[in-house]
Amino acid sequence: MSQNSYQVAKRYGKALFELAEEEQALDAVFHDVQDLREQLNKIPELVSFLNQAGVEWSAKKVILDELTEDYLTISKRALAVIGENHRMPELIVILEEFEKRFNAAKGIVQAQVTTVIPLTETQRDQLVQKLKTQFHCKVIQLKEKIDPTILGGVVVEVGHQRLDGSLRTQLNNLKKELSR
């Protein structure tokens, strides 16, 4: 995707967010966006079909209308505008931009946590509280990942920030210090 297409896709996501906010339908449109992303993840062929330049919008619309029959009119209209303007290849970026703005508006921060073994409920709760304080937000959505190569400790990624408290990194740092 070109830089220009990426910027245009972000504008579409922003426009959808602003329209949903104006219509006081943020939560419902967010639900539609989440549902559509799930369907796109479950059916990779759908993404390929929607991205095909040789397929007319009317054929794509038939499929989308079926998948989105329970969606709000705002969501359906947005998909129609995206399709009519030949922006289906940017659909994922559009949905991501909407989600990013929704999360910011609701004070939601997504964090990926990597550990060697699963966190206990107590550890998870303590980590969430610390992250809420550090990132000044209302809600932390944790995505947990198990990676034995970090040897121990925890790695937390929030946006473009990485808090690396892994044993592997500590040992590598110690190795560098000793080799000086």
Q: How confident is the model at residue 21 (pLDDT cuts 50, 70, 90)?
A: very high
Residues 111, 136: one domain?
Answer: yes
Residue 118 DSSP class: P
Whole-structure pTM over 0.85, yes or no? no
Please determine, for residue 159, whether its predicted confidence score (pLDDT) is greater than 70.
yes
Please determine, for residue 5, whether its predicted confidence score (pLDDT) is greater than 90.
no
Contact 102, 13 (CB under 8 A): no
> Which residues are CB-contacts of 100 (< 8 A; sequence separation ≥ 6)?
13
Mean pLDDT taken over the chain: 94
For the chain, what percent of residues have pLDDT higher than 70? 99
Q: How confident is the model at residue 4 (pLDDT cuts 50, 70, 90)?
A: confident
Q: Which domain does 127 fall in, by range?
A: 107-178
Residues 53, 91: one domain?
Answer: yes
Query: Starting at the edge strand that comes first in sequence, how are the strands of the sheet with 139-146 ordered?
Result: 139-146, 108-115, 153-158, 161-166
Size of the chain, expressed as the number of residues it contains: 180
pLDDT for residue 1: 62
Residues 112, 171: one domain?
Answer: yes
Section 146-150 average pLDDT: 96
Residue-wise pLDDT for 84-140, tens only, equals: 999 999 999 999 999 999 999 999 999 999 999 999 999 999 999 999 999 999 999
Residues 47, 131: one domain?
Answer: no
Please give the Cα distance from 102 to 24 (Å, whole number): 12
Residues 69, 93: one domain?
Answer: yes
Angle at 10 between CA 106 and CA 55, to 5 degrees: 125
Section 135-160 average pLDDT: 94
Q: How confident is the model at residue 180 (pLDDT cuts 50, 70, 90)?
A: confident
Residues 85, 136: one domain?
Answer: no
pLDDT for residue 3: 79
Q: Looking at 54, 84, 104, which one is the last position of a domain? A: 104
Residues 43, 22: one domain?
Answer: yes
Q: Looking at 83, 104, 125, which one is the last position of a domain? A: 104
Residues 83, 21: one domain?
Answer: yes
Give the tokens for residue 180: 């000086």
> Which residues are CB-contacts of 23 (< 8 A; sequence separation ≥ 6)?
74
Residues 138, 56: one domain?
Answer: no
